[in-house]
Structure 1
C-alpha cells in the first residue's frame, strides 16, 4: 500500500503541474466568437445560390491499438499459493435420503454446472446418483447390475463408469439417463480419468489410454494404479497396498513417486488448477495435499474435521471446489452412513 500510494502521489503531482500550466497559458479561458457579415457580400448572396458541393471520402481506419495492459495486470496479480496456504472451508453436506441409506460411495464428482454425481457401488449392483448444486438428491441416473469402481466426467453431458471385472467402461449421458456407448478392453477396469479428449483406464495389471475421437487405444506400460487422475498431459496414480502416489507422463514414464507416513491406503486422487495433488488417505482418515513437484505434502483435513472412512475425492478446477466422501454418525440411532462434504479450497 505504501509503495502504491507513493506512485499515485507522483502521478497526481504531475497531473496537477500540467493542469496549472494550462491555466497559466490561458488554455481554460472561454472564447466567444462573433461573426459580422460584410455588406459587400450581401449582393453576392442575391445571385449566388450555391458555393459548391461537399463530398465525403472515407478511407480505412489504420490505427492499431494493442490492449495488453489489462492482461499484464492479471498476470502480475495471479500467484500460485504455497502448500501451507491451502486451507479448505466447508460449504455443505450432501443430503442422502433415508431410504437410500446406507450407501457405499466409491466416487464423487463435481460436474461443470456445479451439480454432484455419486457412485454408490455394491458387489452386485451400482447406482449413479445426481445431486443439485445445493446438495439435495435429484434422481438416479443409471443402475448397473454389477460392481462399478469409478466414474469421471468426460465432456458435454457424458461421464464414464468403469465396470470392473467385466473389462468394460460405459459412457453415460447424464441428461438422458442412459448408456450411450461401451468400451471393451483387455484388462480389468478400475480407475478412470479424462481430459475431454482422452480416457485413462487403470488397474493393477494393466492401464490403457483411449482416444475418444476415434476409439483407438494404447496400453500404458509402466502405469499400474488403483485410481488415476489426468492433468495437463500427465497421469497421476495411487497404489493402495504400497501407500504410494506416482506421477507419469502420458506415455507411461515415471516422473516422480511420493511416499509419506501421512498417506495410508490412498484411494482416489485429484488435482487443482495449480497442479497440487489431493489424496483421500483412507487408512488414517486424512486428506493430504502433495506439491506439484512431488516433494512435500500437508494434511488439510483429518478425523478431527469429521473425516472418516474417506475414499472418494474430486475438485472443480474452475470454481475451486472440492468434494470428499465421509462416514457420519446418527447420534439418536447409534448408526452411521456415508455422505459427502463440499469445501472451498
Structure 2
C-alpha cells in the first residue's frame, strides 16, 4: 500500500526545521523542499539526478520505498550484481561475502531497460490472470459453500424424516401391544370378577344358613330339627362340592400378565451404535481457471548457478537409540523449528528428533503401511497410507491423527505446497 505520511525536507529536518518536501531524488534518496531543490538541481554532481514529486513518491508501495540503492552493511552504493546469490552488491561486498562468486556483473547492465522489458509486460498479464483466477476460485468456493449448506439442510431433513418415521412406527407398535394388554387384562379380570360374584352369593347363602341353624337348635321341635338338618346338610354338601369342583379345575390358576419386548426392538438400543454416517465424498473439481505461462521461470535477471556449481556439505547426524536400530526410513521431514520427523515403515511409526539430532519421542503409530510423509503447516504432517487409500494429517505436538482423507485408489506419495 502506498504511503500517506507527510514528508519533510531531509536537509531542513536535519537542521531542526520541518519544511514540507516537494521532490524526492532517486539517487540521493532524500527529500527536498522547494528552496533546497534548486541548488541540488544546479550542482555539477547532482544536476543529472532523476527526481520525482512527493505525490508520485507516495504512490509507490511502502515495501518498494524501503528498498535502498545503498548497501546496509557498508553504506556504499550498489554497483555489482551477484548471479550466484541473486543479489546486488557494493564493491566491499565482493571482498567480504562474495570472494568465491565468479559471476559478478555490472548492476547497470542488469537494470538496463528493466521497465520496458518483455518480462514486465508478461508479469502484468500474469498479475491480471492470477487476480481473475482468484476471483473465479472465490466465486467457485462460495458456490460450493452454498451447495454444502443445501446438502446439510437436506441431510437434516432426511435425518428428521427418518427419526419421525421410526417414531411413528414405534408409536404404532406401542399402541398395538397396549391394545392387546388391555384386551387380555379385561378378559382375565371379567372371568375372575364373575367368579367372585358367584362365590359371594353362595357365601351370603351360607351365612344365612349358619344363622338359621343356630336359631333352629334353640327353638325347633325334634321333627323340625330332623328335617331341617337334612336340608342344611344337602345345601352344605352342594356348596362344598362347588368349591371342590372349582379347585380341581382351573378357576384358581394364577394367570399373571407379563410383557415380553420383541428382541428385534431391544436390539435397536443394543446394536444401533449410531443414527448413520456422515461422509465427505471427494470428486474432481469443476473449477476452470486460466493456465499460467509455461515459462513462468523467466526472470528479470540472469539465472542462478546450475546444479554442477552447488556444493553440498555435511550438516547434521541423527542419533538413533540402540533399541531402534532397525528402522526402514521412507521419509525425513525438517520442521520450521528445525526439529526432524522420521517416517519408519518397519514399525509403521513417526519419530521426532531434536535439532541437535537427539531422539525425543514416538509421535504416532499406524495400523496401515505408511509410504510417504511431508510437512504441511504449523505442527501438521501428512502421511500417505498406501493400500488403505488414505492420507492422514498428524499433529506432531499433540501426537494424534487429526484428519483422514479418503481416496478411491492407493496413496503411495504425498506432497504439499502449503
TM-score, normalised by the number of residues in structure 2: 0.30
TM-score, normalised by the number of residues in structure 1: 0.36
- Structure richer in helix, relative to its length: 2
The higher-RCO structure (CA 8 Å, 6+ apart) is: 1
- Structure richer in strand, relative to its length: 1
